[in-house]
Amino acid sequence: MASTSSGGIPNQAAGRKLPWSEVIAFVAIAVIVLAGVLAGVLAGASPQGILTNVGFYASIAIIFAVLALGFNLQWGYTGLFNAGIAGFYLIGAYTMAIAITAPSPPIVIGGIPVYPGHLGGYSLPLAVGAILAMLAAGGAAVIIALPALRLRADYLAIATLAFASILQILANNLQSVTGGAIGITGIPKPITFVSANAPFLNAITIVGIGSAILLLFLLLLQFMAESPWGRVLRAVREDEEATMALGKNTFNYKLQAFALGGALMGLAGALFAVTLGYVSPSSSFAPAVTFSVWVMVIVGGSGNNRGVIVGAFLIYGLEWLSVQLKDYVPIALAAGLPTIRLLLIVVGLIAVIAAGVFVLFSRYMPTRGWGRVLRKIQERGWVRNGTIGAFALYGLGWVFVFLEQYKPGAIGDTIFYTRLMFIGVLLIILIIYRPEGILREHKRVLR
């Protein structure tokens, strides 16, 4: 990976070890994508359909990655907690939609106004729309931050939370601007394709443009955040009062970080508008988006720009995969039921025998060779934890088997609807064992 630079001065420790955490993270993402592809193959989708689907994953993950970069600048670097990420995202998406979409007059059917139309119809170029989206969201961040950043830290969270809720209500009700509940449709694609392959080609262009933007902003943020300027941000995060007493106008730094972070979230919104082709005040801008981004930054490693991108690809990957598996899992479970039952019986037998042998022989355990290994395992508490885990899994297996016989299909659906709980459990495990995230913030070794 690119080494960081501080105003052009090399900043990296010499002689790096193999970055295991990065390897693991990339393998995990690869496994998610492959599992999704496999599910597509098993469901009998066409190769192009599968690729389009993977492209969709990548484009949404890129959008989340941009959101995560914005939040990382605010929180990971500067310690500013933003509870209204969805609001800045919404502003970006609507600004983009209004700026680049062709005019759409109100629709009246039989004297009843069905669609009130929306502001805009300016048909501006995409790049102009994206810049406007960043300015609008960044400007909104400044307006909120000016009063809120002068107060105690928790007021910023409250203010941003309120801001996001108000925006979602406004988007729903300010019909002549936002198109109300229907929203704004017909947002143009970067390139208009007229062929049967249009969805595929669209996915490819969007992923291409998204990756370029993500890379550009990763490099830019890395340059800024790892500079002396970024060092002041980290100082503010650690102790604002001390930083002030060291001669820094901390308010200015907080304002800059918050505004730039907000602008990035606006850019993510602009990407979202173009990727989907429509915006509406639906779940896309619900508080759940904000929570997802928090999880991505915490899991990936706050204070590490590459880490939060990994977090976005991982967490959204789990979400995406659960959708891919939604249709396949019930079928597979039904088909594999006899095999699963047999497997459980065999595993159960083996476990009972192994436990018996272990208990019998643990008294006369030799101190060399295998005995040493066994003793070490015992000392570390692996036996206890492993046994508990194995029994839990085993019991769960039987519950599954009986449930599946009693009500076929229920389990597959349950897995789908409990996927957020699953992500929550993963998050808790991670916070316990690696609170600094998968790719932790590195130490800046100056030379």
Contacts with another protein, residue ranges (CB under 8 A):
6-9, 223-224, 227-229, 231-232, 234-235, 238-239, 241-250, 256, 441, 443-447
The least distance separating another protein from the CB of residue 244, rounded to whole angstroms, comes to 5
The least distance separating another protein from the CB of residue 4, rounded to whole angstroms, comes to 13
Residues whose CB falls within 8 Å of the CB of residue 426, separated by 6 or more in sequence, listed in order? 299, 318
Backbone angles phi, psi at 410, to 5 degrees: -65, -35
Nearer to another protein, 58 or 438 (CB): 438
Nearer to another protein, 247 or 338 (CB): 247
Cα atoms found within 13 Å of the Cα of residue 80, Cβ hemisphere only: 34
Nearer to another protein, 327 or 441 (CB): 441
Strand partners, 113: 108
∠ CA(148), CA(149), CA(155), 5° rounding? 50
- DSSP element (H, E) containing 5: strand 5-6
The least distance separating another protein from the CB of residue 72, rounded to whole angstroms, comes to 15
The least distance separating another protein from the CB of residue 135, rounded to whole angstroms, comes to 17
The least distance separating another protein from the CB of residue 306, rounded to whole angstroms, comes to 18
The least distance separating another protein from the CB of residue 431, rounded to whole angstroms, comes to 18
Nearer to another protein, 21 or 48 (CB): 21
The least distance separating another protein from the CB of residue 362, rounded to whole angstroms, comes to 41
Tokens of 23: 């390897």
DSSP state, residue 4: P
Backbone angles phi, psi at 5, to 5 degrees: -130, 150
Beta strand segments in 31-171, E: 107-109, 112-115
CA neighbor of 289 nearest in space, from 203, 179, 164: 164
The least distance separating another protein from the CB of residue 74, rounded to whole angstroms, comes to 15
Helix 47-71 vs helix 287-300: crossing angle, to nearest 10: 80
Nearer to another protein, 95 or 227 (CB): 227
Nearer to another protein, 368 or 447 (CB): 447
∠ CA(211), CA(214), CA(218), 5° rounding? 140
Nearer to another protein, 193 or 229 (CB): 229
Residues whose CB falls within 8 Å of the CB of residue 85, separated by 6 or more in sequence, listed in order? 67, 70, 71, 160, 164, 265, 289, 290, 293, 294
What are the angstrom distances between the C-alpha of 230 and each of 9, 222, 252? 14, 9, 13
CA neighbor of 409 nearest in space, from 327, 344, 340, 338: 327
The least distance separating another protein from the CB of residue 75, rounded to whole angstroms, comes to 14
The least distance separating another protein from the CB of residue 15, rounded to whole angstroms, comes to 14
Tokens of 100: 């680049």
Strand partners, 115: 107
Strand partners, 33: none
Position of tokens 């955490």?
21
The least distance separating another protein from the CB of residue 239, rounded to whole angstroms, comes to 5
Q: What torsion do the CA atoms of 112, 115, 118, 120 make, to the nearest 10 degrees? A: -100
Nearer to another protein, 95 or 250 (CB): 250
Nearer to another protein, 160 or 256 (CB): 256
DSSP string, 244-266: HHTT--HHHHHHHHHHHHHHHHH
Nearer to another protein, 11 or 53 (CB): 11
Alpha carbon 126 to its chain centroid, in Å, reads: 25
Strand bridging mode 5-6 / 107-109? unpaired
Nearer to another protein, 4 or 202 (CB): 4
